[in-house]
Amino acid sequence: MKHTQQLPTADVLFYSLNQIELLSRSAHFSTLQEVVQDWTLIIITQGNGILFADGARFPLKKGTGFILVPGTGSDMRCDGEGLTFYKLSFEMIGKTESGYGRIQSSIGNSLVQHGMVTFHPFSHCALLLESLYFNRGDNGDIQRLTSHIRFQELLLLCQQSSAENQDALKRAAVERSIDFINHHYNEVLTVDQLAAMVQINRSRYTQLFREITGQLPLDYLNGVRIERAQQLLLMSDDRLHDIAQTVGYSNEYYFNRRFKGTVGVTPGQYRRTHQGNIRVFAPFLEDYLLALDIIPVAQYSHAQWGKQEYLGLHQVPHFDISSGHWAQLSQYEPDLILLDEGYRRWKLEDCRHIAPLFKLPCMAEDWRATLRTIASIFGKSGKVDKVIQSYEQKAAAAREILRRSVCQATVACLRISSCGIYLYGGQQLGYTGGVLYKDLGLTPHPLVDKLTVGQRRISLTDEWIAQLDADHLFITFDKREGEGRELLDTSLWNQLPAVQQGHVYEVDFIAWMNYGVLSHKRKIDDVLAVLA
């Protein structure tokens, strides 16, 4: 068992734990340099740091570790909080031409390989480590056998976690390639090229692609091209040849054949049937459509949030986006489905078989840009300036009224649910800040500027709530997460100055949690109703 001969063909039979240590390094002793003599497994249980090995830099945090081959030099550095970690020294025992002996370098068929490791679930890893450490001095036969088995379990967990991580990394890489297709669909793309781009062999790439999308890569690419062609046929007068070229088909005949095979009619028939009176479904974007005098064939609703009552679309049927019953949506026969950045959250891509999808670029707070984009899609660009001017005039008039009535009184907006209390941000981000603090010139409570820098909203602790001594509070309740109205009965809430003075105003959730121009006009009306 003490032979040191190494052969490339050696087979590892088992791993023998020599020593386990529980170590801590504080920032005062932030560097741990050494050359390991045995196979060494380091597992971090607390803190953060960096390991330098093989000329590379590896981040360390709880649940991660590193396997070092004998003779490897390493340099471990801690951050300000220090590191707590287990250090396990062990041997590989394998079969060689001369019998059985130690193996001192990594081989291809070994379970253990030099490099970074992670553990999932870490709770299982922690239990195994605690048992091994607690029983490290017990020389009884049964306990030694138990510790030996647990050490093998630990290495197996390491291998399984690494395999899971590798698979997750590959899936993420395939998803990036799908995003690449969505943006470069008009280029010549092959499966081999896409697989090489993410460094996955073609077979595995195709398998993962199908698991993620339900389609083969080239079928997905063709679907994206045909979807974009449908949009261009509806929203432009371009020649079929030009559209074919734009979406990635070099041959108009081939484009016609693929289009008919996917949609059921030729591109020309599709254009004659639909152009000029586009039937659109635009969940979360109905506000913009209505501002441009476009009535959707259906409006979105939500099982908990309800409908957009503030838009007054009482004659327009509603579709519950949380239901996933896409067959119900198909009865409204939309020609186009217009989506914003929230489509992934609601899996709205699943309705691409009902009508072509048009995904707007993310413009969020810049509602004017969103309005102009939608107007250009539907040939309404001439109306945009009047809509924006109407809003600006309304905001300016309200700002002058509030300047006289509110003066320097502070304001904050809260979104309340059973999950917590969220404070909305200032002028730059969020549904409300641009209207309240920029357009209307109201003064944000100091916590708004202090806590929400770079964020649309932030969850408030009890400590922060106690400091929220704003003169006026606008609140809305998120029914999807459970309203959380029990907050209003707490002493913490009732001690707030705005509550004691009766300056708390509940507003409509759907109307205020929106970026649309009509939504913002509704906010102005609500503010004037209580503060003017």
User: pLDDT tens digits, residue range 485-515?
Assistant: 888 889 999 999 999 999 999 999 999 999 9
The pLDDT value recorded for residue 276 is: 63
Task: Kindly tell me the burial class for residue 152, based on how many C-beta atoms sit within 10 Å of its own C-beta (0-12, 13-18, 19 or more).
Answer: middle
Separation CA 181–CA 176 (nearest Å): 9
- Supply angle C-alpha 278, 284, 290, rounded to 5: 55
Burial class (CB in 10 A: 0-12, 13-18, 19+), 192: exposed
Interatomic CA distance for residues 43 and 22, integer angstroms: 10
The Cα 476–Cα 424 span in angstroms is 11
Would you state the structure tokens that stand for residue 366, as one six-digit string?
A: 């810049």
pTM, two decimal places: 0.61
Q: Are 122 and 39 in contact (CB under 8 A)?
A: no
Query: Torsions phi, psi of 514, nearest 5?
Result: -155, 155
Chain length of the chain: 532
36 three-class SS? coil
Least confident of 8-12, 379-383, 409-413: 8-12
pLDDT of residue 462: 87
Query: For position 521, what pLDDT does the model report?
Result: 96
Q: How far apart are the first and last CA of the chain?
A: 89
Q: Using CA atoms, how far apart are residues 319 and 74, in angstroms rounded to an integer?
A: 60
Please state the rounded mean pLDDT for residues 76-86: 79
Q: Does the pLDDT of residue 232 top 90, yes or no?
A: no
Short-list 248, 524, 514, CA closest to 401: 524
* Domains of the chain, first to last: 11-118 (2.60.120.10), 219-274 (1.10.10.60), 280-362 (3.40.50.1980), 388-531 (3.40.50.1980)
Distance CA 176, CA 189 (A): 15
Q: Which residues pair with 33 in a beta bridge?
A: 75
Backbone dihedral angles phi then psi of residue 440, each to the nearest 5 degrees: -95, -10
Distance set, CA 149 to CA 144, 145, 199, 263, 471 (Å): 9, 6, 37, 60, 65
Q: Where are the beta strands (DSSP E) in 7-143?
A: 11-25, 31-35, 39-53, 56-61, 64-68, 73-96, 99-103, 115-118
At residue 110 the predicted structure's pLDDT band, cuts being 50, 70 and 90, is: low
pLDDT at 239: 92
Instruction: Decide if 298 contacts 329 (C-beta within 8 A).
Output: yes
State residue 163's pLDDT score.
64
User: Hey, how many other C-beta atoms are within 10 angstroms of the C-beta on 325?
Assistant: 11
User: What are the DSSP E strand ranges found in 141-292?
Assistant: 280-281
Please state which of the ranges 6-20, 394-408, 415-429 shows the lowest mean pLDDT.
6-20
Please say if the pLDDT value at position 436 is more than 90: yes
Token output for 440: 């209307």
Q: CA–CA separation, 304 vs 294, rounded Å?
A: 26
Query: Average pLDDT, stretch 165-180?
Result: 82
List C-alpha distances in Å: 101 to 3, 20, 41, 52, 112: 5, 21, 20, 30, 16
Most confident of 110-114, 409-413, 446-450: 409-413
Rounded to whole angstroms, the Cα distance separating 199 from 192 reads: 10
d(CA 310, CA 32): 64
Tell me the one-letter amino acid at 311. L
**CB neighbours of residue 115 within 10 Å:** 15
**pLDDT value at 211 more than 80:** yes
Beta strands in 97-210 (DSSP E): 99-103, 115-118
Which residues, in sequence order, are CB contacts of 275 under 8 Å at separation 6+? 233, 234
In 10 A of CB 90, how many CB atoms?
20
Cα separation, 191 vs 221, whole angstroms: 10
Question: How far is 520 from 289, CA to CA, in rounded Å?
Answer: 14
Task: Report which of 221, 127, 234 is spatially closest to residue 177, judged by C-alpha positions.
Answer: 221
Q: Which residues of 225-249 are buried (b: 16+ CB within 10 A; e: fewer)?
A: bbbbbbbbbbbeeeebeebbbbbbb
Indicate the SS3 state at residue 72: coil
For residue 529 the two structure tokens come to: 């109703």
At residue 108, does pLDDT exceed 70? no
Give the SS3 label for residue 420: strand
What is the Cα–Cα distance from 146 to 140, expressed in whole angstroms? Answer: 10
Residue 144's φ and ψ, nearest 5 degrees, are: -65, -40
Model pLDDT, residue 275? 62
Q: Provide CB contacts within 8 A for 279, sequence distance 6+.
A: 297, 332, 333, 334, 335, 336
Cα 248 to its chain centre, rounded Å, is: 30
Task: Label each residue of 147-175 as H, E or C.
Answer: HHHHHHHHHHHHHHHHHHHHHHHHHHHHH
| pLDDT at res. 11 | 63
